[in-house]
Amino acid sequence: MNDFEKHLREVGEVGFVERVNRAIVHVSGLPGAHPYEVVLMESGETGQVLSLGEELMEILVFSNALPKVGTRVVRTGRSLAIPVGGELLGRTITPLGLPIFQKRQPVDVPPLGIATRRQISRPLETGVTLVDFVIPLAMGQRELVIGDRKIGKTLFAFHVIRTQAKKGVVCIYAAIGKRKQDIKKAESVFREGGVRDRTVVVASSSEDAAGIIYLTPYTAMALAEHFRDEGQDVLVVLDDMTAHAKYYREIALLAKRFPGRGSYPGDIFFAHSRLLERAGNFAYKNKEVSITCLPIAETVQGDLAGYIQTNLMSMTDGHIFFDSDLFDKGRRPAVNTLLSVTRVGFQVQTPLLRSIGREVTKSLAQLERMQTFVHFGAEMTEGVRRALSSGEKLQHFFEQFLGGDESVPPLNIKIVLLALILSGAWSRVAFGDMDRYIGKMISSYERDKSFRQEVDDLINASKSFQDLVAGIQQKGLLSRAG
């Protein structure tokens, strides 16, 4: 791809740089060029055909060093492709990939049709207890993670990656126009979490050319498709798509395209939707494989009605909203369960988990009402005091700071712990003793095989929250709580 003279002999067409406008170069000639074709400049730069005009075509250049006016340009006859392969696991690559692997994957391809897709049917455990019970996700789902800056969105994504990578899922983290220290932090988190060999970091820094930053999420998705085609489940995190939209807006304005709402180009919806539609649940031989996508979007002062944010909401299967007000109150994670949505996660849950999720949602909503009631100075009755105590214990159970590689308790013991809190079995346990009781239950589950089997059998036999509570009382599991 870097042999200018070779391609000149093969194609027989040559163009010339007429104008240079930062990341956009206007070129004459090359009558056979097509959109998204890769071109080479004799000075060594690589670019991609962005659009075709009557006299000049727009070339998006993939380097900060720009060609001079009069530089010769040659077609390659190829679309942009990146090197792929299992050798990438544990590495950090640029959006153009590393040129040491033989197999290459097209970066920008149409999403697969409906004939290759299957109904989403498998749950995806994030390791974040509040999300797993109230806003459950599924493998193959596209769930938007949205909220203001610096309130835990990226830490949440890191935690999901650690949890899924330990289950054997290939995880790809796309750092879009990030600071280099943020890219190094991501590498460090994955390495310390013991999952570096199951992750690929596709990184572009804020110092890179706009064209390189624009390519970052497409490269990440192309890698995901490669592993999907090898029969592996993949998780893709795109951090973040609002930054990607800003760089695409810069490219469009430099190309003198007519600006639309917020000065974004009219095809910004198409640019993002053709990317996110490539995720999903697919048929592979005699099984199913999935690409789960978690695009991250940034809001300003909690405004969910922004142009890019609402665009992304319309093309995803729900959103997890990180609320700055909850963050300021010390809630970790600062997820607003009332404003968060999951459109396909509930369909993969067992009847027991759906029943528990409803109880949790009802209890959290009741806690909000009680806290508002007390805030206005109303006198607390014994019933109100008990409801507040139970709700605060429930909130404490969901508390996760996600700052380090904290261990994730098995799902079944978390179900039992939730049942103990929601049923009022721990109503006499002091708030300060909660951690000790929870730790004792988890320790018993992990070390005592007979207790673990007893809990697992109870979970499998229960069809609803009421069945579970009755089973806990019948089997005497309360004694395990002290």
Read off the pLDDT of residues 214-238 as tens digits, 9 standing for 90 and up: 999 999 999 999 999 999 999 999 9
Tokens standing for residue 305: 């009605």
In three-state form (DSSP H/G/I as H, E/B as E, the rest C), the secondary structure along the chain is CCCHHHHHHHHCCCEEEEEEECCEEEEEECCCCCCCEEEEECCCCEEEEEEECCCCEEEEECCCCCCCCCCEEEEEEEECEEECCHHHCCCEECCCCCCCCCCEEECCCCCCCHHHECCCCCEECCCCHHHHHHCCEECCCECEEEECCCCCHHHHHHHHHHHHHCCCCEEEEEEEEECHHHHHHHHHHHHHCCCHHHEEEEEEECCCCHHHHHHHHHHHHHHHHHHHHCCCCEEEEEECHHHHHHHHHHHHHHCCCCECHHHCECCHHHHHHHHHCCCEEEEECCEEEEEEEEEEEECCCCCCCCHHHHHHHHCCCEEEEECHHHHHCCCCCCECCCCCEECCHHHHCCHHHHHHHHHHHHHHHHHHHHHHHHHCCCCCCHHHHHHHHHHHHHHHHCCCCCCCCCCCCCHHHHHHHHHHHHCCCCCCCCHHHHHHHHHHHHHHHHHCHHHHHHHHHHHHHCCCHHHHHHHHHHHCHHHHHC
Tokens standing for residue 88: 């990438």
- Domain check: are 20 and 135 in the same one? no
- Domain check: are 295 and 233 in the same one? yes
Amino acid in the structure at residue 94: T
Low-confidence spans in the chain with pLDDT less than 50: 1, 99-101, 481-482
- Bridge partners, residue 106, by sequence: 81
Domain total in the chain: 3
Is 343 catalytic? The answer is: yes
Look at residues 50, 78, 106 and tell me which one is the last residue of a structural domain. Answer: 78
- Bridge partners, residue 236, by sequence: 172, 293
- Domain check: are 173 and 47 in the same one? no
Average pLDDT of the chain is: 89
- Domain check: are 99 and 189 in the same one? yes
CATH number of the domain within which 327 lies: 3.40.50.300
Look at residues 45, 78, 111 and tell me which one is the last residue of a structural domain. Answer: 78
- Name the CA dihedral angle for 83, 86, 89, 93, rounded to a multiple of 10 degrees: 0
- Domain check: are 210 and 70 in the same one? no
Look at residues 346, 368, 398 and tell me which one is the last residue of a structural domain. Answer: 346
- CA nearest 109: which of 242, 200, 31, 219? 219
Instruction: Quote the pTM value.
Output: 0.86
- Domain check: are 268 and 392 in the same one? no
- Catalytic entry in 78, 117, 343, 354: 343
Question: Quick one: pLDDT at residue 346?
Answer: 92
CA torsion through residues 293, 299, 304, 305, sign: negative
CATH number of the domain within which 14 lies: 2.40.30.20
- Domain check: are 230 and 319 in the same one? yes
Question: Quick one: pLDDT at residue 100?
Answer: 36
- Domain check: are 388 and 328 in the same one? no
- Domain check: are 136 and 69 in the same one? no
- Domain check: are 341 and 391 in the same one? no
CATH number of the domain within which 409 lies: 1.20.150.20
- Domain check: are 319 and 237 in the same one? yes
Domain range for 476 is: 353-481
**What are the tens digits of pLDDT across the range 93-128?**
888 775 434 566 888 888 989 999 999 999 999 999
- Counting beta carbons within 10 angstroms of the beta carbon of residue 91, is it exposed (0 to 12), middle (13 to 18) or buried (19 or more)? middle
- Domain check: are 142 and 181 in the same one? yes
